Structures are given as C-alpha cells and as structure tokens.
Amino acid sequence: MSDPQNGESRVLITGATGYIGGRLMETLERTGRPVRCMARRPEYLAAADGTEVVAGDCLKPETLPAALQGIDTAFYLVHSMGSRGNFEDEDRLAAGNFGEAARAAGVRKIVYLGGLGDRSQTLSPHLKSRQETGQALRDSGVPVIELRASIILGSGSLSFELIRNLVERLPVMLCPTWVRVQAQPIAIEDVIAYLQGALALPAENRIFEIGGADRVSYADIMLAYAHARGLKRRLIFVPVLTPWLSSLWLGLMTPLYARVGRKLIESIRHPTVVTDDAALATFDVRPMGVRDAIARAVRYEEREFARTRWADAVSSGALHPSWGGVQFGSRVVDARTAFVPVTRAAAFAPIRRIGGASGWYYANGLWRIRGYLDLLAGGVGLRRGRRHAEHLRPGDALDFWRVEAYEPDRRLRLAAEMRLPGRAWLEFEVNDAAGGTEITQTAIFDPIGLPGLIYWYAIYPLHRRIFAGMLKAIVARV
C-alpha cells in the first residue's frame, strides 16, 4: 500500500469536489503525500499532477472497489444534505456501502468529519444524521477516527456563506432567541490541520470533539462578521420566529443556499460545544478564535479573488450569467466575452488606449456625466485623464480609475476611485483561441451592505448596456 517513489501510503479523499475535501486535497498535495480522489463528477476536479482522480459514488457500491484498491487511509467527507430526498437515509446507506467496501479492500483506517451535539438530548435531523453516519462506518469493522465539529468558518463554507449573505443584506435583523445558543465555531484551517493530523494516529475507533478557541452564538458570529466588514448591524430578538418561519426568511434572503440551509436551521437550536478536550491533548493543533477565523476567511477570499482569471472562469463555464451578474463571495460579477480573428497584440491595442483622450468607446456622454456627479460628491471625476496615450503601468491614474494590474497584450485591471457604496473593478483579458483571440470583459462590484446592493441592482440595466456597448466598440476598433 506504499507509494514506490517516497514510501508513503496512498490516501483516498472522498468528496474532493466539496469544500472540505478540496482544501484537504490541496494541503496533502503540497506535502507530497500520494493522493487519490474519488468524485461522482471527476471532470469537475482540478487536481495536481500525480494525484489520481477516479469516479465513484457511495450510493453505487459497484463503483467503490476500484477507488479503494491499495488504500491505507480513507477520508470520508461526503454527505447528502443537498439531495431532494431523505438525506438521513441516503447518508446511512452511503456510509454503510463505503464501510463494507473499505473492509473488503483492506483499508486500515477511515477518517470521518462529523458534527458536534449532545446525544443525551434530542438532536436535529442534521446533527443526528452526522453522528449516525459515523456509527455506520464503525459498524463495518474498519477503525474510524471521527472528528466532530461545530460551525466551520471559512470563505466558501455553507455556515459562513449563510452568515455573510444575511449580514451583507440586512442592516436590521429579526432574530429568534435561539440564535443565542452556544456553539464553538472552528476555522477551516484548523479543521484541515486536524484531518491531516489524523493520518498519524493509530488505527482504532476514536471520537474527538474539535472546536475553536471561543464559545459564541450565531448572533455573536454575525456581529463579528459585520465588524470585520465595517458594517453597522442591529439584531432584534423576537420570541415568535419559529424554525419554519426562519427557513422561509432564509430562502428569501439567501436563495443560493436555501435548500441546504433550511436543514441547518434546526441545528442552531442545539448547543454544539466541546465537552471533551481529548483533541487538544492528542493533536498539535491550537485552534484560533472567531475574530481571527473570520478575518482569515475574508483575506482568503481576497487572495482567491485577486488571482482569479476571469477569461478562464467564463470559458470553462464556471460563471453562469444571470440578471445582476453572478456571486463571487460578497462580490457581484458581470462578465462577457467576444471573439476577434486577430492576434492578442492587435486585440489588446484598443484596451491599452482606453480612457483619457480616447474616451471609453461607448456612451462617452454618460461617462462624463458620471464624472461630474463624482466631482460634486467630492470624488476625483474624469479630470485626471491618463499619463501616456499608449503606455500603462501599475499605479497609473486613469480618469477615475487606477491601474491595479497590467500585463502587456494580456490583461488590464482597473480599480475604481470614484465615490461608491462599495469597491469596483473593471478588467479586460485577451487569450489565444482557435483562429484568433478571445476578449473577456469583467465588471466587479463589492457592495458595502444593503446600500451597495441597492446601488448595483438599480443601475445594472444601465451598466449592462454600457459594458456590452463598450466591448462591441472595442471589437470594432481591433
């Protein structure tokens, strides 16, 4: 079961296309550990060279033996909460299938990430299912290291995204009193550290409760996120907001996460705190507190956002256009592409000349009006123009934008310096395509609270017309 190159045993990660599995895969890849990933849709998984990617579905037992062949330790990170059926039954069935296949393949140990909750109390269906899944894995006879966690804080995690959507949209929130119930949220970085540390543990049945440094409530987390984003938020606690009514409100305010989020609502009513500190005595992990976890989540999103290549995202279908754009963390993104049968240099030429005396190629009158309004509001307006008619460099002022990134004949990224209820960027990328070049134009807005969202959606029809006309005019100038 060892890798012939470095002698380390190969591990299997299930659910590698998910939030936790994807982060774990990247971490183990960086350490050089031999990794095999199993996914129902392996074509969606971007793994590093040397990482095996195989198709497999825990609800289809016939697909599991090949994935588990030669595996020493298997990480079980799948769940069925996103299903439209009975997720509890599906979770038990999937775990049973996987455990039996792991035993038959000679797997030495399973590492499973479950959920905190006091079993002496009546648990929500979600928390109960998380713990039943761990028992189903143990029933196979394969030793299971089960890590039980509360709320996981990290950019992209379901709980964090639900909190983000509510806090970003609502300056005043009506909250049921049970959002004051105690939890022990843990940063995604600490969860990954615990999962990685479980590789070194002996193959025996153990349950570890893992949590962050702070015991807080959902209300505390929402206020901590508001503080990190510079938002003023008020929580009003009411006794009549039932879980059912809360789920309806959640569906209205956070539609992207509503189906799964409604299943989590019941869990908030139950304390999810660490009662056994065995994890601190066993692992070399000292978890961070809530404020640090939220700050790291925001910084991680900034880092991922900064290195996103919008041309790749659009061409791969990762962005699905909708009215108002698509969501990327707290930001709204409007992207469009055009093909031109010329070289990259020729396609980029009108882009590098944009602004200043050249104007913005479409609706220049509206751009001038926007500049005057910005001046009236105390902004810089359009009076700065540009340093040079042909050449740009990072840091250059460009009307009421500033050049944030510039790669000749490849990429121009402008950061807005006009007065806005948020932050904005305008980016152009050109990439080689069969028979010519593809131009991608992306407008990005990071709203500050509800005023920012109202601003974006109120002027989106105008923005949509202007940006579409601008790209068309750039193509005509190539």
- Write out pLDDT tens, residues 72-91: 999 999 876 555 556 788 88
Beta carbons of 10 and 3 less than 8 angstroms apart: yes
CATH 2.40.30.10 fits 309-477, yes or no: no
Residue 8 per-residue DSSP state:
P
Which tokens hold the place of 369? 């009006």
pLDDT < 70 positions in the chain: 1-8, 44, 46, 80-86, 120, 240-267, 306-323
Q: Around Cβ 396, how many Cβ atoms within 10 Å?
A: 18
Task: Provide the residue type at 257 as one letter.
Answer: Y
Beta carbons of 132 and 92 less than 8 angstroms apart: yes
Which tokens hold the place of 467? 């940006």
Question: Which residues make beta-bridge pairs with 333?
Answer: 326, 444
**What is the pLDDT at residue 316?**
54
**What is the pLDDT at residue 2?**
43
Distance (Å, whole) CA 371 – CA 382: 5
**What is the pLDDT at residue 319?**
61
Helix/strand/coil for 182: strand
CA–CA distances in Å: residue 147 to residues 79, 150, 169, 206, 265: 15, 10, 33, 9, 22
- Measure the N-to-C terminal CA separation of the chain; round to a whole number of Å: 58
**What is the pLDDT at residue 231?**
87
Domain ranges (residues) in the chain? 11-303, 309-477
**What is the pLDDT at residue 165?**
77
Query: In the CATH scheme, what is the code of domain 11-303?
Result: 3.40.50.720
